[in-house]
Structure 1
Amino acid sequence: MRPPSRSSLILFAAVLLAGCASTSSTQTTPGSVPMTQDSTPLVGTDWRLVSAPGTRAGATLSGAGAATLRFEADRFSMRGPCNRHTGAWSRSGDQLRFGGEGGAVAGTKMLCPPEIMARETALLAAMQQPLTMEFEGPFLRLVAGDGSAWRFDSRDLPPAEGRERIVQVAGQRVPCTGAAPMLCLQIRTQPGAAWQAHYGEIEGFDWQVGVEYVIRVREYTVQDPPADGSSLRWVLEEVLERSP
């Protein structure tokens, strides 16, 4: 079994990440008026990350691995993809800088699944250099020098149906009996808890024998399920971790 620190999605340890970047004399003051092509004010808006380099097409970044970026008059804050971050910011035309003379970027340090940590590490690395802002209606794109881009949405997240759950899935199935004998997935929602048989499949989930997963699913209630069927329906939203 993997160490709890890998399969557990939240381990808190407060720490500050110091980083300092110089600002040029051509920069405007933090919180300056957004560019004319910007239909949504940059300051005071919650910008929700909806696309990042490496995410598969159509993947949702809500729940685990999500991020929300917000600019205030002299500081920014960001929740996610794993940790919380804050610091100074400034802009000059379409160029955006994080950190600098107004205050270094600082953040918490939590352990998250490798896919989420990689997403956060890439974003923080990009934030150490000037990023180009591109506005597309309600969307904001931050583009790094190598062309990597992060897309944010200023619109509120529509109410989601169903319930979001984080589930660990074992690498071996076990015999179980529904309408007839079959092999069931083994799942648990707490690291170290006893495995439980999951009657039914997880839609969109390509399970492989010998591989252990941490996944995010959306749970729906099935109205009038068949006598041999489950009253719950699980649909895969994202694979957060897999091993080996």
Structure 2
Amino acid sequence: MNRLMLLALPLALAACAKAPTPSEATTPTATQAPVATSAPAASIDQAALASQHWQLEQAVDAKGQRIEALFARADKPLQLDFRDGRVSVGNACNRMGGGYTISGDRLQVARMAATLMACTDPKLMALDQAIGKRLEAAQTIALRSDAEPQLTLTSADGEVLTFRGEPTAETRYGGSGETAFLEVAAQAKPCSHPLIPNKQCLQVRELHYDDRGIKTGTPGDWQALYQDIEGYEHTDGVRNVVRVKRYTIKNPPADGSSIAYVLDMVVESENVTAAKAK
């Protein structure tokens, strides 16, 4: 009798165990939903970026206040140019430039180098530092390349710099152009122009340099330049040597030149009037 009771005890305990409910019996093991990831930022069109001179139009801080330090020259807004892996700054006190990389929508500019000119306007001197420190900080970049190109730089602390695009000479004339050196005489002279009475023409002659920057050969003859050199401002009494890009104009007007000259840089200057006074 006792033996039968001992055998029945495990069976009774098993019968008292709670049976699983239908939901417990059929509910499968939950699996973790995949984590949603944001799509990678679209890469910046480098050709479109290089096709424009980017002139500062608006700059505000995180509170929406205008950053006055970046607007030292009302007549010549701060300008950025991106080309061959380098960004250059124009219309500041000094010429500045440095290498840059773009990864997705992130722009990183290396430490920038600058010329060492001293400007009399303290606001213009401060402009170099104001733009330099902002460009060297990591930031996001956005590019709109439509009928009204726009470039936007946004810093980690919420500053937003907006630039409008102005087509480069390469974009306007459809080619890379030819580099030439012109000596511009100190004084312009009257010249005959079919559309501009009493026209004063720059007097220029072409110079040649070798790969080391040493002047070679004999300068060309002086001749009147009937058009302007884009980007060049002449001062009477000052002789300049300029490096220009020379472009062929497709379908020029009947009374216009088939060649365009665009200033690249001023190589040397001499105040002839002051020199003669001594």
Q: TM-score, normalised by structure 1?
A: 0.40
* Structure with more contact order per residue of length (Cα contacts < 8 Å, sep ≥ 6): 1
Q: Which structure's CA Rg is the greater one?
A: 2
Q: TM-score, normalised by structure 2?
A: 0.36
